[in-house]
Amino acid sequence: MFFIQDAIKFPDLVHALKMEPDRGFPQAASAHDTFWDFISLMPESMHMVMWAMSDRTLPRSLRMMDGFGVHSFRMVNASGESTFVKFHWRAALGVQSMVWDEAVRTAGADPDFHRRDLWDAIQSGDFPEWELSVQLFTEEEAQEFPFDHLDPTKLIPEELVPLLPIGRMVLDRMPDNFFAETEQVAFCPANIVPGIDFSNDPLLQGRLFSYQDTQLLRLGSPNFHQLPINLARCPVNNNQRDGRMQMQVPTGRVNYEPNSLGGRSPKEMAAGFRTFPEAQPYSSSNSKGRIRSESFADHFSQATMFYRSQSATEQSHIVSALIFELSKVETPEIRCRVVGCLHQIDEDLAVRVSNGLGLTGVPQTLESPAGIIEYPTFCSLQLINERQRTLRGRCVGIMISDGSDALLLDTVRSEIQHAGASTRIVAPRIGETKLSNGVQIVTDGQLAGHPSVFFDAIVVLLTVEAATFLTRDASATSFVRDAYTHLKAIAVDIGGQILMDAAGCEVDESVVKLCEADADSIRQFLSAAETRLWSREPAIRSMP
């Protein structure tokens, strides 16, 4: 779904989100007055705000994000019959997220973390993949929905209309040149293939106009479709001849149709674009107006559905995110208005945010709208309880030092890689490290430059002497402490346990002691590394 129902409000949304014009900051952040001022006065945005404040916006990797088409389109078959469709991209690795502190530290340690992650995955042959699925439903079925599917601030729960897989997308190479192949891409929802038609979604109708206009301005020419990255894979023949940056040399006397002078000049296809012959209701005055349907008036029911469908941990993360964002807002009246909107979503949510902001009572700045829908909770909207338990696509960091157990290191690396994850060796210094058997191995990174936020789980294999020395190294203690506070699985040998004790980390079910090359303890670690230990979180940070 999206923030707004009316395309004409998109410039306002963007202007509110951008840096404030009188001070030039904040950049790339929504935690400021103008954004939340706009949101507090646009209650239709509250469903999207719940998503934006959830764990889904802290992805562990771009390879672990889903994509949504937002709008309803139509599919029209050769007989002219129509079916509504919504498009979804589902990550093959499942959706995974970071915790807030981890995301902040990752951005500081490597602002290019996500691009580097894509590069490493593609270069290693572990190609990122998404499944294309559709939700199909008829006009009659749409009329039975408790919401208007043409409202772009609403979603169709998977439990109501299941997802049907129809294809996949695999990224098997990086761009050869980012400017040519990404900066000059000209996406446009008006570009469709025969068999797909548009719906009356008002936001979609606005985008059909605005994206074409955007590309004309951004790329400076009506011939942007001739750039190699935008060029059709099969030949296209039309009567477009002129305009700046014409890169072809069209021949012939005519550039119009019909004509009697052109011979084999382009002609309209008989089986081209088909518009579904939808019956159009008219008002008694037979006039047209830019008027929102009454079916778009319910702004809170699906926001409530989303929030209440989350696990208790995910709800706490949403509360924390809202408190963080609104604590940056300087104008008290704006904070109060937003909390008033939250009261319409869930009273407990509003109370928790209000308490976190130090507000007296819960502001109720809005009248509860009529027609609130009581949705059931939907497990498909959760992340934590719906996560895939797998190590595929994950990366495990292994800290070593001179003298680390060579057999244990080799066994652990082999088992991790067999489970589908990659490994990175981190040491106090870059270059070669001598193991217990005298073999020199080249490390992948130096400890300070490769903090544990880069990894999904960690293994610490140290001699007692090295561990004792590293207890005085902030990078080493932070390596294990951060992994612990970010709820990750940790495996340690005797030396690793010394470093854990120095970092103040307690033993729990996701902290595994490795007994030489014992297969059972390694399997226990691999099982713990498939997910995060969410039950650890209340013990290490306050939960609002």
341 within some domain: yes
Q: What's phi and psi for 451, nearest 5 deg?
A: -65, 165
Q: Give the total number of structural domains in the chain.
A: 3
Q: How far apart are CA 70 and CA 86, in angstroms?
A: 7
| Strands 73-76 and 196-198, bridge-based pairing | antiparallel
Residue 312, domain CATH:
1.20.1370.20
* Mean pLDDT confidence for 311-316: 96
Per-residue pLDDT tens over the stretch 161-178: 999 999 999 999 999 999
Has residue 273 got a pLDDT over 80? no
400 within domain boundaries: yes
pLDDT at 285: 52
Residue 85 has pLDDT above 70, yes or no: yes
- Does residue 366 register a pLDDT over 60? no
In a domain, 249, yes or no: no
Average pLDDT of the chain is 92
- Range name among 73-87, 239-253, 487-501 with the lowest pLDDT average: 239-253
Given 164, 191, 226, the domain boundary residue is: 226
User: Is the pLDDT confidence value at 19 over 60?
Assistant: yes
What's the rounded Cα separation, in Å, for the pair 57 and 55? 5
SS (H, E, C) 383-423: CHHHCCCCCCCCEEEEECCCCCCHHHHHHHHHHHHHCCCEE
pLDDT one-digit tens code per residue, 352-365? 999 999 998 776 65
Alpha-carbon span 301 to 373, nearest angstrom: 6
CB–CB of 135/163 below 8 Å? yes
Residues 45 and 188 occupy one common structural domain: yes
Identify whether residues 378 and 419 lie together within a single domain: no
The residues near 301 (Cβ < 8 Å, ≥ 6 apart) are 146, 147, 372, 373, 374, 375
pLDDT, mean of residues 112-116: 96
Note whether 365 and 413 are same-domain residues. Answer: no
Contact 36, 353 (CB under 8 A): no
Q: What is the mean pLDDT of residues 22-39?
A: 95
486: domain CATH number? 3.40.50.880
Q: 364-373, 448-457, 468-477: lowest mean pLDDT where?
A: 364-373
What percent of the chain has a predicted confidence (pLDDT) above 90?
81
Answer yes or no: is 254 within a domain. no
pTM above 0.85, yes or no: yes
Sign of the CA dihedral 483, 487, 492, 497?
positive
Buried-exposed string 139-166: b where 16+ CB fall within 10 A, e elsewhere? eeebeeeebbbbbbbbbbbeebbebeee
Predicted confidence band of residue 235 (pLDDT cuts 50, 70, 90): confident
Residue 275 lies in a domain: no
Return the pLDDT at 283: 47
Is a pLDDT exceeding 50 seen at residue 82? Answer: yes
Mean pLDDT of 513-523: 88
73 and 144, same domain (yes or no): yes
Distance of CA 89 to the CA centre of its chain: 11
**206 occurs within a structural domain:** yes
pLDDT at 31: 97
Q: Is residue 529 domain-shared with residue 407, that is, in the same domain?
A: yes
Question: Pairing between strand 67-68 and 82-91?
Answer: antiparallel
pLDDT in tens, 274-294: 778 877 654 445 566 677 888
> How far is residue 344's CA from residue 527's CA, in Å, rounded to a whole number?
41
Same domain as 169, residue 64: yes
420 vs 270, residue with greater confidence: 420
Average pLDDT over every residue of 367-375: 73
Q: Per residue in 179-206, pLDDT tens? A: 999 999 999 999 888 899 999 999 999 9
Which distant-in-sequence residues (6+ apart) come within 8 Å of 544 by Cβ? 316, 319, 320, 323, 352, 353, 355, 356
Confidence of residue 348 (pLDDT cuts 50, 70, 90): very high
Q: Is residue 465 part of a domain?
A: yes
Residues 199 and 53 in one domain: yes
Same domain, 15 and 144: yes
pLDDT (0 to 100) of residue 289: 67
How far, CA to CA in Å, does 543 sit from each of 315, 485, 486? Answer: 10, 13, 14
Co-location of 347 and 310 in the same domain? yes
The CATH number of residue 109's host domain is 2.40.180.10
Domain coverage including residue 317: 298-385
Domain co-membership, 315 together with 407:
no
- Specify if 284 maps to a domain: no
Single residue among 179, 198, 226 that ends a domain in this structure? 226
Among candidate residues 204, 226, 248, the one where a domain is terminated: 226
Q: What is the mean pLDDT of residues 370-377?
A: 84
Residue 395 and residue 454 in contact, taking contact as beta carbons nearer than 8 Å = yes
Same domain? 345 vs 422 = no
Q: For residue range 425-443, what is the model confidence (pLDDT) as tens digits?
A: 999 999 999 999 999 999 9
* CA terminus-to-terminus distance, the chain: 27
- The pLDDT score that the predictor gives to residue 369 is 58
Q: Are residues 172 and 314 in the same domain?
A: no
